[in-house]
Amino acid sequence: MENEIYVDIKSELKAKPKQLTNLYQWLFVAVNTAKSIIDNTCKKSLDNVLKFADCNSTGQIQHEFDIIQGKFGREGFTQRYSPVYIYLCSLVADFPDQELSDKDKELIRQYSTVEIYLLYEIE
């Protein structure tokens, strides 16, 4: 399942959409990008990504994402000025607030296990 969503979203992002409309794709981008930030700077803190599964809305995920960016996306983050990183962050920031279901939270847990990062795989 994880590989399917990864392939789907990677294909979708080739067209460089300015916004994602599919919640599952957006969740994947948020989780995957946050995990890539932490993995790049402080591997021992990867469990911070699981905080997303405690969120009840996309707005809360955006807030947690901002916290991760502030904590791990500064000094030492080698992709800080990467156009791909900036693009992925814009996709995370530009999504309407909506409630998350238990299924959505389970998907977040599944997405957090993916070891391949869009940050390094899309152009």
Read off the pLDDT of residues 62-99 as tens digits, 9 standing for 90 and up.
999 999 999 888 777 888 888 999 999 999 999 999 99
User: pTM for the full model?
Assistant: 0.93
- C-alpha closest to that of 47 among 110, 106, 112: 112
Amino acid, res. 117: Y
| DSSP 8-state code for residue 52 | G
- For the chain, what is the mean pLDDT? 91
Question: What are the two backbone dihedrals, phi and then psi, of residue 99, each rounded to the nearest 5 degrees?
Answer: -70, 150
For the stretch 14-54, pLDDT in tens is 899 999 999 999 999 999 999 999 999 888 888 889 999 99
Indicate the domain borders of the chain. Answer: 2-10+24-121
Rg over CA atoms, the chain = 13
- 2: pLDDT strictly greater than 90: no
